[in-house]
Amino acid sequence: MPPKLVSHARIMTIERHILEEQKIHPEATGTLTNLLYDLALAGKFIASNTTRGGLAEILGETNEVNIQGERVMKLDQLADQTIYRMNDHTGRLAAMASEEHEGLLPIPERYQTGKYVLLYDPLDGSSNIETNTSIGTIFSIYRRISDSGPGTMEDCLQPGRNLVVAGYLLYGVSTMLVYSSGSGVFGFTLDPDIGEFLLTNDNIQIPKKPKYYSVNHGYQKYWGESMVRYTQYLQGLDGQIPPLSLRYAGSLVADFHRNLLEGGVFYYPADHKDPQKPSGKLRLLYEAAPLAFIASQAGGYASDGHQNILDIVPTSLHQRTPLFIGNRTLVEKAEEFIRQYGI
Ligand code: P6P
C-alpha cells in the first residue's frame, strides 16, 4: 500500500495558480496565462544556466557593450535571447523591449502580433555573476495601445499604473518567480527535481515593522543633505526610530526581495556622482516601475522622491529615475526629507 501523501498545504504549481488567477478575470482569453507560462519556462532555462555559471563556458564577458555602456556578460546575452526567442513567435505580443537593447524589439514579420507588449531586464545585477551573488530577471506586461499591426514606441512608453502583470525571477540559493497580476503578490520556488515552480509565498504583504535599509554607502560623498539626514534617520541616529540593519547586495532583485519579505527600504537616490546620470542609475521601465507595481500590491510604496513611481509617464525607453521602494512609512519619510532639504 503506497504511503498516504500527507500535505499540510495544497501543492500549487505556477501553471495551476495562473489558471486560477485567470478565472478572476472573466474577460481573460488565456493569452496572458500562456504568456506567463512562457516566462516561467524561460526562467527555468536561464536558471539552469546560471547554476552552471561557474562551470559552463558561457561564464565571463563577451567583448560587447550594451546600451547602458556596460560590458555584456555571456549569461546576459543568453538570458536576453532566451526571453526574446521564447516570445517572438507566439502571436501574443505586439513588441518587446529589453534593457540590453537601445530600441524596441519588433516581432518578426513572419509571425502574427498580439495584444500585449513585454519589457524586460534579462539579467539584472549581472556584474555579480562571477562572485556568485544572486541575480534576477525583471519583466513587465502592458496591453498595447495601438490597434493592430507592429507594436509602437507608444505601446511601450506607458506608466506603471497601466501594468497588467509585473514580476521577477531571482536566481539565488533557490530560484524563485514572484509576480502580481493586480490581485496580490505570489512567490514560487523552483523544485529542480521536478522542474516545477511551486507556490511558497501566498499573497505576500510587506511586514509593517521594517528590519533593513539598503543603499550604497560608498556614494555618500555625492549625496545632498536630505539623503545624509534620511540615512541617519534609518540608522536611528536622530532617535525617531530604532536602528535598521544595513543589507546591500548590489543586486536590485535580491535587495528588493529581502525587503519585500522582511520589511525595509531600498533606495538608489539621485546623486551628484555622474553629471550624465542626474537621476541616478536605475531604469524606470525595466526596474523601478515593475517593482513599484509589486511593492504596491504587497502594501508598500515606491517613489522617485517626489511622486509615486507608478504615475511617471516615460518619455524614453531607457530613462533613469531615483528609486525609494519598500515600506510605505519609510518611503514617505524619504519624500519628507527631500521636501525639507532638497534632493
Ligand atoms: P551600484 C546592478 O548593476 C544594478 O543595476 C542593480 O541591480 C543594483 O541595485 C545597482 O545596479 C547597484 O549599483 O552603483 O550600487 O553598484
- Tell me the per-residue pLDDT of 91-137, one tens digit each, with 9 for 90 and over: 999 999 999 999 999 999 999 999 999 999 999 998 888 888 999 99
Q: Which residue has the higher pLDDT, 308 or 18?
A: 308
Give me ligand 1 centre to Cα 259, in Å.
16
Position 100, amino acid: E
Query: CA separation (Å) from 264 to 151, 234, 335?
Result: 38, 10, 16
Do 152 and 189 lie in one domain? The reply is: yes
Query: Where among 182, 201, 220 does a domain terminate?
Result: 201
Summarize the confidence of residues 18-44 as an average pLDDT. 86
Q: Which of 137, 170, 251 to mutate to test the pocket of ligand 1 (most atoms within 8 A of CB)?
A: 251
Do 24 and 151 lie in one domain? The reply is: yes
Domain that holds residue 121: 8-201
Say if 207 falls within a structural domain.
no
Summarize the confidence of residues 210-220 as an average pLDDT. 97
Q: Would you say 50 and 75 are in contact if contact means Cβ atoms under 8 Å apart?
A: yes
Summarize the confidence of residues 218-243 as an average pLDDT. 96
Q: Kindly give the number of the ligand 1 atom that is closest to the alpha carbon of 125.
A: 2
Q: Kindly give the number of the ligand 1 atom that is closest to the alpha carbon of 282.
A: 5
Q: What is the DSSP letter of 180?
A: E
Q: Which residue has the higher pLDDT, 32 or 327?
A: 327
| Residue 251 beta carbon below 6 angstroms from any ligand 1 atom | yes
Q: Would you say 75 and 59 are in contact if contact means Cβ atoms under 8 Å apart?
A: yes
Taking the CA atoms of 288, 293, 294 and 297 in sequence, report the sign of the dihedral they define: positive
| C-alpha cell at position 137 | 530577471
Residue in this structure with the C-alpha cell 517593482, named with its chain if needed: 291
Do 28 and 148 lie in one domain? The reply is: yes
| Residue 125 beta carbon below 6 angstroms from any ligand 1 atom | yes
Q: Would you say 265 and 325 are in contact if contact means Cβ atoms under 8 Å apart?
A: yes
State the pLDDT at residue 181: 92
Do 184 and 42 lie in one domain? The reply is: yes
State the pLDDT at residue 24: 76
* Residues ≥6 apart with Cβ < 8 Å to 53: 59, 75, 129, 132
> How would residue 52 be classed by pLDDT, with cut points 50, 70 and 90?
low
CATH at 19: 3.30.540.10
State the pLDDT at residue 216: 97
Residue nearest atom 3 of ligand 1, based on CA coordinates: 125
- Give the N- to C-terminal CA distance of the chain in Å, as an integer: 69
As a whole number of angstroms, the distance between CA 79 and CA 119 comes to 13
User: HEC states along 290-333?
Assistant: HHHHHHHHCCCEEECCCCEHHHCCCCCCCCECCEEEECHHHHHH
Judged by DSSP in three states, 267 sits in: strand
Do 175 and 236 lie in one domain? The reply is: no
- The H or E element spanning position 64 is strand 61-65
As a whole number of angstroms, the distance between CA 27 and CA 22 comes to 9
Query: Where among 180, 201, 222 does a domain terminate?
Result: 201
Q: Which residue has the higher pLDDT, 327 or 74?
A: 327
Do 193 and 258 lie in one domain? The reply is: no
Q: Which of 67, 72, 124 to mutate to test the pocket of ligand 1 (most atoms within 8 A of CB)?
A: 124
> How would residue 18 be classed by pLDDT, with cut points 50, 70 and 90?
confident
CATH at 318: 3.40.190.80
| Residue 232 beta carbon below 6 angstroms from any ligand 1 atom | no
* Residues ≥6 apart with Cβ < 8 Å to 269: 215, 223, 227, 280, 305, 322, 324, 343
Residue nearest atom 1 of ligand 1, based on CA coordinates: 250
| Residue 252 beta carbon below 6 angstroms from any ligand 1 atom | yes
Instruction: For strands 104-106 and 212-214, give the pairing.
Output: unpaired
Query: Where among 136, 169, 201 does a domain terminate?
Result: 201
Residue nearest atom 4 of ligand 1, based on CA coordinates: 125
Q: What share of the chain is helix, strand, coil (3-state, %, to 5)?
A: 35, 25, 40
> How would residue 6 be classed by pLDDT, with cut points 50, 70 and 90?
very low
Q: Is the pLDDT of residue 57 over 70?
A: no
| Count: domains in the chain | 2
Q: Within 10 A of 148 (CB to CB), how many other CB atoms are there? A: 10
Give me ligand 1 centre to Cα 45, in Å.
24
Residue nearest atom 2 of ligand 1, based on CA coordinates: 125
**pLDDT tens digits along 141-183:** 999 999 999 999 999 999 999 999 999 999 999 999 999 999 9
Do 182 and 276 lie in one domain? The reply is: no
Do 220 and 307 lie in one domain? The reply is: yes
**Mean residue pLDDT across the chain:** 91
Give the angle 311-244-270 at the CA atoms, nearest 5°: 40
Give me ligand 1 centre to Cα 215, in Å.
10
Q: Which residue has the higher pLDDT, 59 or 300?
A: 300
